[in-house]
Structure 1
Amino acid sequence: MDASPPSRRTQIISAALQRFRTHAVSGTTLRDLAQAAGMPIGNLYYYFKSRDDLLLAVLEECERELDVLLDRWAPLAPLDWLTAYFDWLLLDPEASTTLGCPFGTLAGELRALGHPAAERGAQLVRRYRTAVVRQTAAAGIQTDVFMAVQGVYTVSRILADPALFEQSIREIRDGTLPRQPQATL
């Protein structure tokens, strides 16, 4: 049986999240959001009372995205968890350099804007960081993988260099995770 199509509200949130990640919150008007969602601007107010209500819904979607990732990796042993984490980071280097960290970029912008939702964004990043730190500690790894990855996101985004992102993440991964023994023929 096919899944039902996403609700109009869900489509708006998805369009807003994509727009905020590509053009930033400060670079996005309600008209931009309506256009991205394929509707007249007045229709946005049917689903969201204000831009801030929509922004909170976008943060909730980011929280849901993080929950999905963490739930997917929860049954894994620490080294397998970290391997899955690095694999996830390497899924789309191009997006990483245009969008930045899927959670940190939005949270950082909210803080810079002095937005009332900044603390909620910070809580999201704390949860993300705590999960990575917990797994690296459980694996007996001393490297602060989370901070290293965030630095790579930042510099690669500034330089708009997906190859730098991919190379740097691979270097962090290879320098952090133990090497698998090579099979002999």
Structure 2
Amino acid sequence: MVTALQRYRTFGVGGTTLKDVSEASGVPLGNLYYYFKTRSELVMAVLDECERELQELLHRLAPLSPVDWLATYFEWLLQDPEAAARFGCPFGSLALELRALSDPAAQRAADIVEIYFKAVTAQVEALGRPAAVADDLFIAIQGAYAVSRVKGNAAFFRTSVERLRAQTFHGIDR
């Protein structure tokens, strides 16, 4: 699944065939077809991997206070600005493409983004900020991913996220 997910994030769902995944993973195409009869089955398995990644991140963050949770979250966002500028949000970009393709898996992808959104929202609200501030933060992060991807500019992503981090923690003792 990891190889298919990497291919989808790099080349998109529409630009990736089962043969591409087979070649990139070193798994014979026949074996891949044994497990995934259709592209849709592979897409659903990849979405399971996306959710696993997200749940793993959320599990790591769960024991932290809201301030530490958000600080670690911002560090996670900034761990690879080049990838952010090249591929966009690891969850949102795939969801957008599936929606644009009218793929039946689009709702599953949207559900994963909703888990991500609710997690960020809960922490921002736990800081005593209104829900609208949490919405604005999430929208701004997604915008930073999108614009930096359009521009191909990792520095834009880094600067945007650092500015959002400063705004989020403004007036909060850390």
- Calculate the TM-score normalised by the size of structure 2: 0.93
Amino-acid identity (%): 54
Equivalent in 43, 54, 58 of residue 46 of structure 2: 58
Residue 31 of structure 2 corresponds to which residue in structure 1? 43
Structure 1 CA distance, aligned partners of 2:102 and 2:172?
46
Instruction: Check if 1:79 corresponds to 2:71.
Output: no
Question: What is the CA deviation profile of residues 60-98 of structure 1, one whole-angstrom value per residue up to 9, with x for unaligned ones?
Answer: 000101110111111111111110110000000001111
Question: What is the CA deviation profile of residues 83-139 of structure 1, one whole-angstrom value per residue up to 9, with x for unaligned ones?
Answer: 011000000000111111010111111111000111111110111001101110111
Residue 169 of structure 1 corresponds to which residue in structure 2? 161
Structure with bigger gyration radius? 1
What residue identity is the alignment partner of 1:167? T
Q: How many residues were matched structurally?
A: 170
Question: What is the CA deviation profile of residues 151-178 of structure 1, one whole-angstrom value per residue up to 9, with x for unaligned ones?
Answer: 0000000000001000110011011113
What residue identity is the alignment partner of 2:84? S
Structure 2 CA distance, aligned partners of 1:153 and 1:180?
26
| Residues 181 and 140 of structure 1, relative CA distance in 2, 3 Å threshold | closer
- Calculate the TM-score normalised by the size of structure 1: 0.87
Structure 1 CA distance, aligned partners of 2:87 and 2:26?
22
What residue identity is the alignment partner of 2:79? L
What residue identity is the alignment partner of 2:60? R
Please list every run of 5 or more consecutive structure 2 residues that lacks an aligned counterpart in the other structure.
Answer: none
Structure 1 CA distance, aligned partners of 2:112 and 2:69?
19
Structure 1 CA distance, aligned partners of 2:173 and 2:50?
37
Structure 2 CA distance, aligned partners of 1:178 and 1:75?
23
Residue 18 of structure 1 corresponds to which residue in structure 2? 6
Q: CA deviation at 1:179?
A: 6.3
| Residues 179 and 93 of structure 1, relative CA distance in 2, 3 Å threshold | farther
Instruction: Check if 1:127 corresponds to 2:115.
Output: yes
Equivalent in 57, 77, 82 of residue 89 of structure 1: 77
Structure 2 CA distance, aligned partners of 1:54 and 1:181?
46
The RMSD of aligned alpha carbons is: 1.5
Q: Which structure has more helix as a fraction of its residues?
A: 2
Q: CA deviation at 1:47?
A: 2.1
| Residues 115 and 181 of structure 1, relative CA distance in 2, 3 Å threshold | closer
